[in-house]
Amino acid sequence: MVKLQIPQHMQGEDWARMPKPKERFFGMSRTTILELSQAGLIKTVSIRKPGANKGIRLIFVPSLREFLDKCTQEVNPLRNEPRLTARKR
């Protein structure tokens, strides 16, 4: 297996590798992170060598933190609707 080097300008706190299967990152699974990325809610980048089928996917951590901050507001960031609250008994 060939190990890819993360470019120097992408190393540090701003970028993190995707969690491995069955692991979590900020409490979220790989699938959830990919869905958020495909919806344009967070930023990720795939790095691979020319002609390679596989590579590594990095998460732009500030965009994930910004998304989580939006989730704490009263508007649902996925639908721009007010968040539903639990029913009182």
Domain range summary for the chain, segments of one domain joined by +: 13-78
Q: What is the pTM of this model?
A: 0.66
pLDDT value at position 63? Answer: 94
What dotted CATH number matches 13-78?
1.10.1660
Contact 60, 40 (CB under 8 A): no
Cα separation, 57 vs 29, whole angstroms: 14
Residues 42-81 pLDDT 10s: 999 999 999 999 999 999 999 999 998 888 875 555 666 5
Residues 1-29 pLDDT 10s: 455 565 565 556 788 999 989 999 989 99
3-state secondary structure the chain: CCCCCCCHHHCCCCEEECCCCCCCECCECHHHHHHHHHCCCCCEEEECCCCCCCCEEEEEHHHHHHHHHHHCCCEECCCCEECCCCCCC
